[in-house]
Structure 1
Amino acid sequence: MATVTSWSTFTGGGAFFYRSGRVREKERRSVSERLTTMNLTQYANAKRMIRAKKLLRATELTIEEISRRCGYETTAHFYRMFKGLTGSTPKSYRKRRYSD
């Protein structure tokens, strides 16, 4: 068994995808096999976007607060990443929710 103490340093963000604890080698390999099409940074960014979309749809939090909760140090970087991965800005994504 390997001990994971933190994976918080990916892309300079503060979000934790794996909390401190023990991860079985078999589980680690299973995750690695499923991620063969993505590197760790791409996976982390995809997980952040899933969370950001959920918060944009389900809450009235400000975009700045959502960017912090998703581990981005600056809102500008969050906007760039969101638009690059989804094709729209967080603000327009949220507006679409209300027009549907």
Structure 2
Amino acid sequence: MIMSSFFMHHNRGDIYLVLYPFDDKELEKLRPGIILDTMENRSIVIKVTSHAERSNDPGDIEIRYWREAGLKQPSVARCSQFVPLDHKKIQQYLGQLQKEDLLNVLERFYK
């Protein structure tokens, strides 16, 4: 089955390398991102970083099973930092969050 490049479906909890915008929206960085939801030609993506959890950000949560998720190093989901991205900015599939990590991320995101 050939899928249109204009519509792709990503599953909740999938981790991809994405072109994630910096705060000023002018620059982008290729980094891991967690798919939260997909609609037509965009997906809502949560930022993933290798920096430690920040105690002053209640949106940060450690990804416990980072190796199993296809990440190269210990990582944190920054649930307070998410963006809608066009599918052309979603580059390479890395893996999927384990069930426990996905539930923790969703709980933190919806708080």
TM-score (norm: length of structure 1) = 0.23
TM-score (norm: length of structure 2) = 0.21
Structure in which a larger fraction of residues adopt helix: 1
Instruction: Point out the structure with max Rg over C-alpha.
Output: 1
Specify which structure has the bigger relative contact order, considering alpha-carbon pairs within 8 angstroms and separated by 6 or more residues: 2
